[in-house]
Each structure stands twice: as structure tokens, then as C-alpha cells.
Amino acid sequence: MLRGTLGEELGPEQMVSLGRAMGRLGRVGLGHAGGEGAAMLGRAAGAGVVAAGGTVLGHELRFPAGAAWLAGAYGLPASLFISQIGSEITLYLFGPDGLALPHEGQRALERELSGGTPEQPAALGVWEHFAGARNRYTRQAAQSALLRDLPLRPLTLCIPQDSPADRATAETLRRMGATVIREETAGLPSFSAAQGGFALQGRDEKGRLLSPERLLTLLCLIELEDGNGRVAVPDSAPAAIDVAAAGYCGTVLRLGRDGAQARALYSRLPWLRDACFAAARLTARMGLTGESLQTLDGKAPRFSTSRQEVPLAGDSVPLLAALAAEEPRCTPVGQGVRLRTGSGWISLLPLKQRPVLRVVAECSDLELAEELCGFYARKVARLDRNLSAGK
């Protein structure tokens, strides 16, 4: 994921160059959302793909999680989605497994971009439109979510938001036979997409808010009970998932720690990374067993999270090494670390796009989580200042 300002870091010339680099890989998925600026950059990127002899596969899925699905479902060598909010542009690059293009793939594109005058292809490529992408997306989400080949009990659920990802989710749940109400209704569970459709949040029948981290934990619980007992999650996923897995003698892989094995498993479990698939999976479980969302939530370990982002003046690597020297309980988690305290877990993960360290505290009590998060945020800020000053 890359961010920049429209017309400054990201303009038509850069997008043509990026399109050329991607076009050499063959078929390229291309989508956009948010404004005319994103549409213009998309046209520029597509022109670059065609100029390099590649095939543009344009689609109407107007959210990045949908673009990721398309890349994985059709094994596209590369897929680009351009999102615009105001003047800020975000580029999402996906690989053939439907996940974010790995670092080596991004580096290969960067080498292409800095490689000087591009070679001319033997022939220009073509620009195609992928008709019916949303229909195929929602159909696959509904079909793959089923846990058993049994009819589901009738359910009524709320999808109160109206983003493209929420509309796709509502369509998916209707395909499963559920009644979908497009407004919050007392006594009914509700779901809404977040983070471009990559995360699901909701409320149970009592109106209790269920964060994306909480619902991810519930989805892992379902996989441990009804799947093959193995899940793969991002490095930032709650430690409560590991606690739940221990109770089922299950296995939790983390993307930064377990490499290709974790990535391959994660790509096969779309409900752990796509809001539409996640809502369908939860609906399938409730429709199969008759559990309410509140009952299902009660089966997972209780936890609350608090997070802060600490801007860094220096490099995160020596900073985390200095923290580990003071905190011997630190264990590596991808590019970051995690440590167990007497009251919960602390995760410290550097962001890839910005010089920032994300601090996440996970405890049974929200007030305690906020206290721990603040304590470690101040601690890493102090260590960063000391390292920058050569102390």
C-alpha cells in the first residue's frame, strides 16, 4: 500500500510508469474509487499497461478488498486499486494469491520504474472490462462460507452502512437466505465493513459493539471448531486468538513469523481478511447452530485493546533492540515485538509506509489497556529520543 498527494507524489506520469512495469507481467486487474482524480490515475496506469503489451482487466468492484478477491480468484500476476479521499491517494497492489503484493514483488516493480527508457513491446496490449465481477464476488462469498451441506435457519440481520463493501455484504447475506434490514434495529445483530472492506465490525443483539479484532477472534474460533484447526493471521492480530487455539489444541500461524506457510494458509481463509466473507461465515455459523451473535461472542476470551502511533525520529530496528534489552520478555513478531505483562499483552509494530511505531495493548479491561498502551508509547518515545541524540 502506497500513499501520496494527488498531483504531487502521485500524478499521471508516475502512474503510466507503474502501469508499464505491471504490464510486463501480463494481465493486470485495475479498479478505483473515491473521485475523478482516482479515475484519472487509473486511466493513466491502464495506458501504461497497454503500452507495455499487457492486458488491463477493469472491474466495477469499488473497494480494495473486492479488488484483492479478483486478483486471487483469477490468479492475476498483479492488480492495482486506486482509492481517493480528498487529495490523498492510496495505491493497493495485490498478487495472484489475493494478498498484498509481497516485498520482493514491490521491489521488482520499483526496479522496473527506475530502469530508464522502457523497451517497446512487439504489440500493444488490450483493455478489457470484467463484466459481472460483483455478482461473482458475492456468489463465491455466500457459497464458500457454508460450514455444512445443511439448510440454514432463517436469520434477520442489519447492514446499516451504504459503502460499496456494505452493499456487497448485504447482497451476499440475501443469497444465503437471510433477511437484511438496511438500518440498525434493536434486538438484531448488525455488521459493517471497515478498512476498505478488509475488516468487519458489528453489534450483537444487545447493541454491544464488536470491534474488528473481536470479530476476527470469533472467526478464528469458528475455524478452530469447524475448520481444520489451523488459522493464519497478521502479526497485529490479538493474542487472544492464541489463547483460544490452545483450548482446541489448534495452530496459529502469523504472517511475519511463519513466512510462506502462513501466507499460503491466510490466502485460503478469506473470511479472516475480507468483511463480506467474514459476515457470511458468521451468518453461516449462526444459521447452522441457532446461536446468537452474543452467544458466539461469549465463547471467545474476553479482551479490550488500546492503540497509539508513535512518530519516530530514527530507525525502528535499533529502537526495538533497545527495548528488548530493557524488556527481556520481548519476542519477535514479524518486524516488531510482543511482550507479556502481568496484565496482558503489548505489541509494538513498525508501519511500512511511515516512520511510525504502532503500540497495541491487549488486556481484559479497557482502562488497563489504555494505561499500558500509554506507558509503552511514552517508553518507546523516550528510547527513540535517546537513540537519536546518541545517548
Contact 370, 353 (CB under 8 A): no
Same domain, 209 and 279: yes
pLDDT at 122: 66
Same domain, 234 and 376: no
What are 98-131's pLDDT values in tens digits? 999 887 777 767 666 555 556 667 688 999 999 9
DSSP-assigned states of every residue in 249-288: T-EEEEHHHHHHHHHHHHHT-GGGT-HHHHHHHHHHHHHH
Q: Are strands 356-363 and 344-350 parallel, antiparallel or unpaired?
A: antiparallel
Question: Where a domain ends, among 297, 316, 343?
Answer: 297
pLDDT at 104: 72
Q: Name the residue among 114, 101, 124, 140 with its Cα closest to residue 352.
A: 101
Q: Name the residue among 280, 296, 289 with its Cα closest to residue 214.
A: 296
For residue 358, count CB atoms less than 10 angstroms from its CB and return exposed for 0-12, middle for 13-18, buried for 19 or more.
middle
DSSP state of 272: G
**Rounded Cα–Cα distance for residues 51 and 39 (Å):** 18
pLDDT at 353: 73
Question: Where a domain ends, among 262, 297, 332?
Answer: 297
- The one-letter code for the residue type at 199 is A
Question: Where a domain ends, among 95, 130, 165?
Answer: 130
Which parts of the chain have pLDDT scores under 50?
none
Same domain, 140 and 122: no
Which domain range does residue 358 map to? 304-388
pLDDT at 62: 96
**Rounded Cα–Cα distance for residues 240 and 161 (Å):** 28
The pTM of the full predicted model, rounded to 2 decimals, is 0.90
**Rounded Cα–Cα distance for residues 230 and 214 (Å):** 18
pLDDT at 257: 87
Same domain, 325 and 289: no
- Cβ within 8 Å of residue 263, ≥6 positions away: 97, 99, 102, 232, 255
**Rounded Cα–Cα distance for residues 89 and 334 (Å):** 27
Same domain, 98 and 63: yes
pLDDT at 31: 97
- Counting other chains too, the contacts that 377-385 makes at CB distance below 8 Å and 24 or more residues apart are 377/308, 377/310, 379/323, 379/326, 380/310, 380/319, 380/323, 380/348, 381/310, 383/319, 383/322, 383/323, 383/326, 384/310, 384/312, 384/313, 384/314, 384/319, 384/357, 385/313
Q: How many domains does the chain have?
A: 3
**Rounded Cα–Cα distance for residues 135 and 139 (Å):** 6
**Rounded Cα–Cα distance for residues 123 and 283 (Å):** 49
- The one-letter code for the residue type at 243 is V
Same domain, 142 and 67: no
For residue 34, count CB atoms less than 10 angstroms from its CB and return exposed for 0-12, middle for 13-18, buried for 19 or more.
middle
pLDDT at 297: 95
Same domain, 343 and 199: no
Same domain, 240 and 177: yes
**Rounded Cα–Cα distance for residues 319 and 233 (Å):** 25
Same domain, 197 and 110: no
Same domain, 147 and 182: yes
Same domain, 170 and 223: yes
**Rounded Cα–Cα distance for residues 159 and 175 (Å):** 14
- Residue 329 belongs to a domain with what CATH number? 3.30.310.50
Same domain, 139 and 281: yes
SS3 228: coil
CB atoms within 10 A of CB 322: 16
